[in-house]
Structure 1
Amino acid sequence: MNAPTALIERYFDAWNETDAGRRRELISATWANDAAYVDPLLSGNGHDGIDAMIRAVHERFPKHTFRRTTDVDAFANRLRFSWELLSPSGASIVKGSDFGVVDTHGRLQSVTGFLDEAPGAA
């Protein structure tokens, strides 16, 4: 597995982790200390903000999981990939695409997310 794909696998592991301690470890291994995430519905800054954002998603969508749906496309320090949020029954309820910037240590500096398909989106 190449480095960008391994990084994004950890990214999804963090999003799907319900154990707070393990999630914090994954965030630390995946995100720069001063990293930022933003999409149309959520934002988080630094490890604490990203953890709080992920925790809020778990509270709103219990037992749902994120899954990457495309290869990780990367060049220089930029990357992109698409994903979906699955209900406990396996139904895809939201689809999106994320664009990231990787720092010199191989961790995410920033991620900008776009919702491609979501309930009620026109």
Structure 2
Amino acid sequence: MNAHTDLIDRYFAAWNETDAVNRRELIAATWSTDAAYLDPLLAGNGHDGIDAMIRAVHERFPRHTFRRTTDVDGFADRLRFSWELTTPDGTPIVKGSDFGVVDPAGRLQAVTGFLDATPGAA
């Protein structure tokens, strides 16, 4: 596995972590302190904002999980990958693609997310 893949696997571990203390540790290990996340539905800045955003997703979609559906493609400090959000029985309900910027310490500086498929979208 390469460094970008390890980073994004931690990214998904943070998204899926329901324990607040463990999630904060994963966020600190994965994101720079001044990081930013933005997609059409969510935004979070810094560790507190990213944690609040993930917590809100857990409240809206209890027991759902995110998983990476593609390899992590990257060069220099840029990367991209696709994912899906699945119900507790494993049915995908949302699919997306994210693009990230990695800081010099190997943590995420910024992630921009795009929704590729959502419920009811044709």
Give TM-score scaled by structure 1 length: 0.99
Cα-Cα RMSD:
0.6
Corresponding residue SS for 1:21:
helix
Q: In the aligned structure 2, how far is the partner of 1:37 from the partner of 1:120?
A: 25
Q: In the aligned structure 2, how far is the partner of 1:121 from the partner of 1:34?
A: 34
Aligned length: 122
The 5 Å alignment of 1:21-100 reads 21-100=21-100
Corresponding residue SS for 1:106:
coil
Q: Deviations over 1:49-83 (max 9, x none)?
A: 00000000000000000000000000000000000
Deviation of residue 91 (structure 1)? 0.3
Q: In the aligned structure 2, how far is the partner of 1:60 from the partner of 1:13?
A: 18
Deviation of residue 89 (structure 1)? 0.8
Percent same amino acid at aligned positions?
80
Match of 2:106 in 1: 106
Match of 2:5 in 1: 5
Deviation of residue 119 (structure 1)? 1.1
Which residue identity lines up with residue 72 of structure 2 in the other structure?
V
Give TM-score scaled by structure 2 length: 0.99
> Which stretches in structure 2 are left out of the alignment for 5+ residues?
none
Q: In the aligned structure 1, how far is the partner of 2:76 from the partner of 2:83?
A: 22
Corresponding residue SS for 1:58:
helix
> Which stretches in structure 1 are left out of the alignment for 5+ residues?
none
Q: In the aligned structure 2, how far is the partner of 1:79 from the partner of 1:12?
A: 15
Q: In the aligned structure 2, how far is the partner of 1:83 from the partner of 1:53?
A: 17
